[in-house]
Amino acid sequence: MKKFFIFLVCFTLFAAVSCGDGNGGDPEEISDIPDWDYSNVVSDEEKNDTGDTSTDSGSSDTTDSADSADSGTVQPGDTGDSGDSGDSGSNENQLPQGCGNGKVDYNERCDSEVPVICSSLNANMTDKAVTKCLSDCTAYDMAACDRKDKAWGVVNISFRTDFILDSTKLNNSDYFAQGALPYAAFNGLYGDEIKFFPVFGDGSTSVAVTTSYSGTLGANRRQLFIRQSPASGYPRHELEFAPGGIKKGNEYRIDAITTYQLIDNLLKLVRYRLIDNQNGQECILGIGYSGTVKVNSIDPENVELFEGGKIDVVVNDLDFYYPTEIPGRNAEEDPVPDEILKYPLCPSK
């Protein structure tokens, strides 16, 4: 009987140890739940809501004020010379997701081996040369193209984003990554000695930014900028939409002369600028003269945009000039207003 009792006690202890949770009595730990890292909101693999985005925090080193010359400006080039160019190298080595499938995906400028006539990209380029998409799908090879007539520069633009940024938050790299797109939205050429853009592998970052605009009478509106900056430096590009709502299907005209009148809610003007950095100061190299911006889609539509909206625009016939050489305008007697130039004139072209 005594032996049986001892056996029963041992059996009970053995069963208790065998059926325990293995954690010293603590609740069961589920090892399948990952330790999420929220420090980087958008990764290279996340394409569902924001696309393949650049997380180069050096792309926004300037806090923007609503009414300054740098309003909403994104300048990855400023920091590209001081170490951030290493990040842009990843854009050269890593092809955008889907590149090579023959379909222009969210993070691509083009995706085809088929040559295209330069004039089909922009009516101000000649039809005597052909170009094709670069192997990384981020831009066309503009080096094969040339201008016609007397245009100082021409550009074609294709830009689409699923997240419009707010200029007041651009110094937050995680926020910036939600809408920064690693491709060249602006393709073209310019200058007395022709220079083309983008340069292959320059790590271009393209964004749309909404910011505040204060008119001469004190009226405040929201307005949209679309900008591109290469991580390797300058020049950079910007489209500045007239303050107020933007409507799907509308064509907004490029204008280098007319100042915004906030009283006219139907004003459909867009300014294009080519911005350089000379002697440590941003200056203007080119101002858009003619062309149209087609709004393929916009969400929300026809409201004063704040952060988080979506937009898709195309420009295929924009020509621009050095600001003192705008056709039909005497630079000394009738200079372009400072409000339109927004930057000092570059001393050298």
pLDDT of residue 283: 97
The mean pLDDT of 182-199, rounded to a whole number, is 92
191: tokens are 């200058």
The mean pLDDT of 142-170, rounded to a whole number, is 91
pLDDT of residue 217: 65
Question: Looking at the whole model, is its pTM more than 0.75?
Answer: no
Does some domain include residue 28? no
Q: Helices in 80-234 by DSSP H: which ranges? A: 85-93, 118-121, 173-177
CA distance 49 to 85: 27
Question: What is the domain extent for residue 80?
Answer: 57-341
Say how far residue 181 (Cα) sits from the centre of its chain. 5
Alpha-carbon radius of gyration of the chain: 27
pLDDT of residue 38: 24
Residue 86 in this model has a pLDDT that exceeds 80: no
Does some domain include residue 337? yes
Does some domain include residue 64? yes
Q: What is the dihedral of CA 97, 98, 99, 102, to 10 degrees?
A: -170
Q: Are 173 and 55 in contact (CB under 8 A)?
A: yes
pLDDT of residue 200: 78
Does some domain include residue 201? yes
Question: What proportion of the chain, given as a percentage, has pLDDT over 90?
Answer: 37
pLDDT of residue 262: 55
Q: How would residue 37 be classed by pLDDT, with cut points 50, 70 and 90?
A: very low
pLDDT of residue 32: 30
pLDDT of residue 92: 44
Does some domain include residue 175? yes
Distances (CA, A) of 165 to 41, 53, 263: 14, 13, 26
Q: Are 84 and 58 in contact (CB under 8 A)?
A: yes
Does some domain include residue 23? no
pLDDT of residue 215: 67
Q: How would residue 107 be classed by pLDDT, with cut points 50, 70 and 90?
A: confident
pLDDT of residue 234: 93
Does some domain include residue 15? no
Q: How would residue 79 be classed by pLDDT, with cut points 50, 70 and 90?
A: very low
Q: How would residue 266 be classed by pLDDT, with cut points 50, 70 and 90?
A: low
pLDDT of residue 279: 92
Lowest-pLDDT choice from 83-92, 189-198, 290-299: 83-92
- Where is pLDDT greater, at 170 or 23? 170
Does some domain include residue 187? yes
Number of separate domains in the chain: 1
Q: Are 269 and 288 in contact (CB under 8 A)?
A: no
